[in-house]
Structure 1
């Protein structure tokens, strides 16, 4: 078993830290880029993988995948295939110009990059509206614009997960670290004991709030979480605020699954939900 490895931008990944599975192609996750490909079926010095941001190297032998786990409070850097919650700043003839983070230039979202969109049926979004989108491309040259999409480019269909305009609800700011953990936990549906995921807060909230209509949620890797409790009737606002309080508490403290369950029960009781 290899020891944990922290990489800085431009560091190369040592070959002995790469998954040894040669029956499947090596998958690179966020924070890594391939500088040159190996010429054989076994890792070689020609297989150069470079870190594009600082963080802990994470490997998944089953999926033959490797990625960088960034530090919890790092500034978000757009990465291809990331799901983000973007806010429309203004529109032009063919694009919506969206804010992904306050520190980065506006990202471009084509006005026809929605399922079934035509010039007559495309959504009408105004300044301040929110969209749940996927990072389509980030460009390779300095100053290249980030492009977003709300459909799968290969099929033209919206992917599972509710890509598209987000109406109603409330957005909460969380650290990019928690956003990544929420994404991993929801995709794997498993509780990890290593602290990378280990999140049960959303599952616990879903169980507790099911009786009043539940809630919808969208998690953006850019540190945004959208919550909608519109089906909760008179309790909608209190339930939404309770979910936000739970997320902030988990973000600030390294709570175990048992502590997260206690937090949810206590918060819902205090909010009288």
Structure 2
């Protein structure tokens, strides 16, 4: 078993830990995920190995050679620090003339969400969000300094359209709290699941296991925020909706709390579904 590579802010990623990119053949470009920054890009005459990536936070390097993705998993109990492009679940605290003032965590200043930063929004059609309402958004900017204002958006600034991830107001369902490290793993696992990748991405198998075993009651929907909040809903589960949501939340939180391996995660899913009478 390969020893995990731990990086600190400013550390350079060794080239031998990066997915292999062919310079002459048509292949997917390297995708840079959370916690890393591209310092220099290889030119057309240089080799792909001449690119330089550096860590922007402390974490464990993770790579997906099949999908050409490299990212940094933060440590489980790391305090959330907003970073540009992060997906977050924000809760509306109050509104002003042009902004919704949103809570990302109890320990950070309110983030600002422009009332027109929703797909198709105008002064007449902007969403009427109240205190306590949830929004799935992306961090647009963070400014500079400890007291810098964080701005959120629910659209792609280049197109004005909501992204495929379902950005916008979130209704129904239930929100569960997890560590920031678990949130990063869940984001990686859910994106890989959407691409039909192998199980066990980021050391998680609960999402794929729950997806298979809850398919007979209508499946479920997830929205994972890097700020350690996960929204879960089962809109097609009818009378099974509440126990299914509880099962998903319990599996995520226990896996996070006890750092369960893949085998124990599968056992947890089976046991939880049986206890909640969702499986025989």
TM band (smaller chain)? 0.7 to 0.9
Report Cα offsets for 1:120-140 as digits up to 9, x if no partner.
Answer: 111111111101111122224
For residues 210 and 30 of structure 2, the distance between their equivalents in structure 1, rounded to whole angstroms, comes to 36
| SS at structure 2 position matched to 1:251 | helix
Partners of 1:191 and 1:197 within 8 A in 2: no
Report Cα offsets for 1:228-267 as digits up to 9, x if no partner.
Answer: 1243333322222122111112212343444333322221
For residues 211 and 103 of structure 1, the distance between their equivalents in structure 2, rounded to whole angstroms, comes to 40
List alignment gaps of at least 5 residues for structure 1: none
Partners of 1:21 and 1:61 within 8 A in 2: no
For residues 176 and 67 of structure 2, the distance between their equivalents in structure 1, rounded to whole angstroms, comes to 32
Cα 1:188–1:235 change in 2 (3 A) is closer
Note the C-alpha offset of 1:271.
1.7
Partners of 2:62 and 2:202 within 8 A in 1: no
2:93 matched to 1:89?
A: yes
For residues 263 and 15 of structure 2, the distance between their equivalents in structure 1, rounded to whole angstroms, comes to 38
Note the C-alpha offset of 1:64.
5.7
Cα 1:38–1:214 change in 2 (3 A) is closer
2:202 matched to 1:196?
A: yes
Partners of 1:182 and 1:197 within 8 A in 2: no
For residues 262 and 48 of structure 1, the distance between their equivalents in structure 2, rounded to whole angstroms, comes to 41
For residues 216 and 88 of structure 2, the distance between their equivalents in structure 1, rounded to whole angstroms, comes to 29
Instruction: Give the 5 Å matches for 1:164-175.
Output: 164-175=168-179
CA RMSD after TM alignment = 2.8
Instruction: Give the 5 Å matches for 1:47-58.
Output: 49-58=53-62
Partners of 1:112 and 1:119 within 8 A in 2: yes
Structure 1 residue aligned with 2:74: 70
Structure 2 residue aligned with 1:113: 117
Which one is further off, 116-125 or 55-64?
55-64
For residues 59 and 211 of structure 1, the distance between their equivalents in structure 2, rounded to whole angstroms, comes to 33
What TM-score do you get using the length of structure 2 for normalisation? 0.82
Report Cα offsets for 1:168-195 as digits up to 9, x if no partner.
Answer: 11100111222111111121223355x7
Cα 1:262–1:149 change in 2 (3 A) is same
Note the C-alpha offset of 1:111.
0.6
Which one is further off, 208-217 or 176-185?
208-217
2:8 matched to 1:8?
A: yes
Alignment partner of 1:226 out of 226, 231, 237: 231
Partners of 1:191 and 1:198 within 8 A in 2: no
2:66 matched to 1:41?
A: no
Which one is further off, 238-247 or 8-17?
8-17
Cα 1:270–1:147 change in 2 (3 A) is same
Cα 1:191–1:66 change in 2 (3 A) is closer
For residues 121 and 228 of structure 1, the distance between their equivalents in structure 2, rounded to whole angstroms, comes to 26
Which one is further off, 167-176 or 31-40?
31-40
**Residues paired across the two proteins, number:** 268
For residues 261 and 63 of structure 1, the distance between their equivalents in structure 2, rounded to whole angstroms, comes to 25
2:254 matched to 1:242?
A: no
What TM-score do you get using the length of structure 1 for normalisation? 0.84
List alignment gaps of at least 5 residues for structure 2: none
